[in-house]
Amino acid sequence: MARLLFQGHGSFRVVTNSNIVIYLDPYAGGGYDIPADIILVTHQHSDHNRVEMVPRKPGCVVYQNTSALRAGVYKKTVINGIPVEAVEAYNGNHDREECVGYVISVDGKTLYFAGDTSRTKQMEELAKRNLDYCFLPCDGIYNMDVDGAIDCANLLGAAHAVPVHMVPGRLFDRAIADEFAAGVKNALILEAGKEIGL
């Protein structure tokens, strides 16, 4: 079974059943002790792109928004056996030409990491994909607020909807997480440092 560690803020580590190690948006929290096979970066803001924090296996692939989105085309690729699809991410603070989210498939589970965004047109399409997990920002300053994230979670209909990126400078905020959970039937609250089996 794959395992996911929410490191805090917008940072994650996924370890597959075959021991492929994936980090997404390294910046916050702990858990940077396992060398990576893949590092995914959604955009170049300093709280998402600290790739130097991550130890790497030989042949590690660092896949950034600049490769995932070119001339308005969102790329699909396979990295170390892991399907990786770039998707729309944008709002007033995040240029749609410079930011992406990612949909990845690991051990039969489909995970949507929205990155820094508000509601996008493509979410209507993603809602048809039977997502297992979606990870949605909800700080209300740089991204959509909690009500916006609740709206997106209910639209997407993932089996598990996880609020992240709650308060700038904090790994986790219980009050915001609880507010999100109150509006989303399938909410899953992960405190920073919490690891789960997928």
54-63, pLDDT tens digit by residue? Answer: 999 999 999 9
Instruction: DSSP letter for 53, please.
Output: G
24-50, pLDDT tens digit by residue? Answer: 999 999 999 999 999 999 999 999 999
Percent of the chain at pLDDT exceeding 90: 99
SS3 181: helix
- For residues 1-25, average pLDDT: 98
64-77, pLDDT tens digit by residue? Answer: 999 999 999 999 99
Asked: is 3-197 a CATH 3.30.70.260 domain? The reply is no
All structural domains of the chain with their residue ranges? 3-197
Q: Are 125 and 139 in contact (CB under 8 A)?
A: no
Alpha carbons 159 and 154: distance in angstroms, whole number: 10
Q: Are 4 and 13 in contact (CB under 8 A)?
A: yes
Report pLDDT for 132. Answer: 98
Across the chain, mean pLDDT equals 98
Report pLDDT for 24. Answer: 98
- For residues 131-142, average pLDDT: 98
